Structure 1
Amino acid sequence: MNRDIYINEFGQPLGPIVENWQGAAFPIPKLLAGWGCRLEPLDADAHAQSLWQAFAADSGAMWTYFSAGPYDSFRAFHSELATRAQQIDPQYYAIVDASSGLALGLASYLRIDPKAGSIEVGWLHFSPALQRTRLATAAMVLMMEYAFELGFRRYEWKCNNLNAPSKRAAERLGFTFEGIFRQATVNKGRSRDTAWFSILDSEWPDLRKVYEAWLAVDNFDANGQQRQKLSEFMRK
C-alpha cells in the first residue's frame, strides 16, 4: 500500500494529513524581477504601446489559441488591457525586458484558490521577440517563485490540447502532465479539449535549483545563445 495512503476506522483510504494547513496568501500585484526580467502589474498606459508593437511582429498565428484577439486597432487593444488590468483574478502582468524597458509579453495568475492552495499561470502571450528566450523562462520562474512563497501547494498550467508549443513549454519547464479534460470549453466558437499540467510545492526546491543553473549568465554566450539546454539540467 502507498505509504501516503491512510486507512481510517471504517477501513476507508485517505490522503496524508497536511500539517497546520491555513491556506495560502492571495497574491498582491507587485514587481517581480530577476535574470534581466521584470514582471510589472499590467498598466495599459505604460505597456500597451510596446506590447502592440511587439505583437505586430507576428504573422497572426500567435492569436490562434489565445482566448482573445486579434485586435483591429490599438485603441481596442488598449481598452482591453485597461479592463484586464483592473481584475484581481485573473491578475495580469507585463513581461518587460529590463535592459530595454519594453514590454514583450503578457502573463497572469488565475483560478486563484488560497483555501485549496491551488493557483494557475495562464493568459500567456509571448511576442516573437520573447519566444524561446532566457527572458521568457525567467518570467515563468519568477511567477512560480512568488506563488510558492505565498504558500500555494499546486501550480497549474492548462492549454488547448492542440496547442503543441504550449504543451512542449510546460514539459520543458518540468510540469507533470495530468490528463485531458474533453470538451472543457468553447474557444472562439470551437470546441476545446484542455490539457492539464502541474508542479507541486514538494517539487519546487529541486526545480528551482535547475532553473537557477540554466539561467546563470555563464550558461549563455555573447549572443545570448544557451550553452546547455534546460532539459540537460533536468536530466542531471
Structure 2
Amino acid sequence: MTHRINAFGQPIGQEVPNWHPRSVPDRKPMRGQYCDLIELNPVQHADDLFTAFQTGKQDGLWTYMSVGPFSTKNHMQAWLVSISAQSDPVYYAILDRDTGRAIGVASYMRIKPDAGSVEVGGIAFSPLLQCTRGATEAMFLMMRHVFDDLGYRRYEWKCDALNEASRRAAERLGFSYDGLFEQALVYKGRNRDTAWYSILDRDWPRISRALCLWLDPQNFDEAGRQRERLTDMIQIT
C-alpha cells in the first residue's frame, strides 16, 4: 500500500482527489436478463417468498442467518415488515424474469456514504434461486449500481467464518479476503467469528467484465451448462 510523507515525517494516506460523499443506494428497480430486483414489499412479496422457501431441499438454509426458518407465512411476513421499514439495510426482492415471482431477497447495509463503503448482506436465496444464473446476476446488478451509478470505493461481504458456502460464493464473485474478526457477534445463542471480504473500485472493471462474459447466454450450452467458469474468467480478464 502506497503512502505519502507529511511535513512531520509521518506516513499518511494517498490523497483522494475531488472526493465527496456518495448518494445512498436508492430503491429503484434493477433489471437483468434472468432476474429483476425491486423494492421489497411485505404485502406483495410474502406469498411468493414463503412458497419459494418451502420449495425443494431445505437442509441448512437458515443455519447461518440471524432469523428463520419460518413455519408460517405470517411469521415470514412479520420479518419482511421489520426489514422493509428500515433505511439501513435497504432490502430488495429478487424476481424471476420468467415468472415475475419473488424467489429471494438481498440488501445493502452498513451504508457509509462519507467513506464510499457499503456491504451486501441479508442474502436469502430460496431453492428456486440457488445455483442459477439469476443468483449470480442479482449480485452483479447490486455491485454495478454501487460502483457504476453511485461511485462507491468499497463493497463488502461478511459472513460467519464457518459458513463455507458463503465464503465460496464471495470468492467466486471476485471478493478478496480481508481477515477474520473473532467473537464479532452472538446470534441464535452462539458465537460468530466473522470473515470479511471486499471488492475495491480499482478491481471492479476487471470483475465486471468477467461477470458480463459469464452471464452472456453464449456461455451456456443447449442444456444450460456453463462453458467457462466465472472464477477462471475473473482470473484471466
Same fold (TM over 0.5): yes
- Tell me if the contact between 1:93 and 1:106 (Cα under 8 Å) persists in the aligned partners: yes
5+ residue gaps, structure 2: none
> Residues 40-59 of structure 1 correspond to what in structure 2 (within 5 A)?
40-57=38-55, 58-59=57-58
Partner of 2:17: 19
In structure 2, the residue matched to 1:28 is 26
Q: Tell me the equivalent position of 2:165.
A: 165
C-alpha distance in 1 between matches for 2:222 and 2:38: 27
Specify the alignment match of 1:220 in structure 2. 220
Contact kept? 1:95, 1:139, Cα under 8 Å: yes
Distance across 2 between alignment mates of 1:186 and 1:60: 22
Q: Which residue in the other structure is 1:203 paired with?
A: 203
**Superposed displacement of residue 87, structure 1:** 1.3
Write the distance in 2 (CA, Å) between the matches of 1:182 and 1:80: 28
Q: In structure 2, what is the Cα distance between the partners aligned to 1:34 and 1:46?
A: 20
Cα shift at 1:60? 4.2
Letter in 2 for 1:137: T
**RMSD in angstroms over aligned alpha carbons?**
1.1
8 Å Cα contact 1:160-1:195 kept in structure 2: yes
Structure 1 stretches of at least 4 aligned residues deviating more than 4 Å after TM superposition: none
Q: CA deviation digits over 1:113-157, x for unaligned, max 9?
A: 100111000001111121111100000000001111212110000
**In structure 2, how many angstroms separate the alpha carbons of the residues matched to 1:100 and 1:170?**
27
> 1:13 Cα deviation (Å)?
0.6
Give 1:28 shift: 1.3
TM-score (norm 1): 0.96
Letter in 2 for 1:54: A
**Aligned mates of 2:222, 2:96 — CA distance in 1:** 17
Match of 2:73 in 1: 74
Which deviates more, 155-164 or 225-234? 225-234
Native 8 Å contact 2:206 2:234 kept in 1: no
Q: Please report the TM-score for the alignment, with normalisation by the length of structure 2.
A: 0.96
Q: SS of 2:186's equivalent?
A: strand
Identity %: 49
1:132 equivalent in structure 2: 131
**Separation in structure 2 between the aligned mates of residue 138 and residue 14 of structure 1, nearest angstrom:** 38
| Counterpart-to-counterpart distance in 2, 1:98 and 1:232 | 27
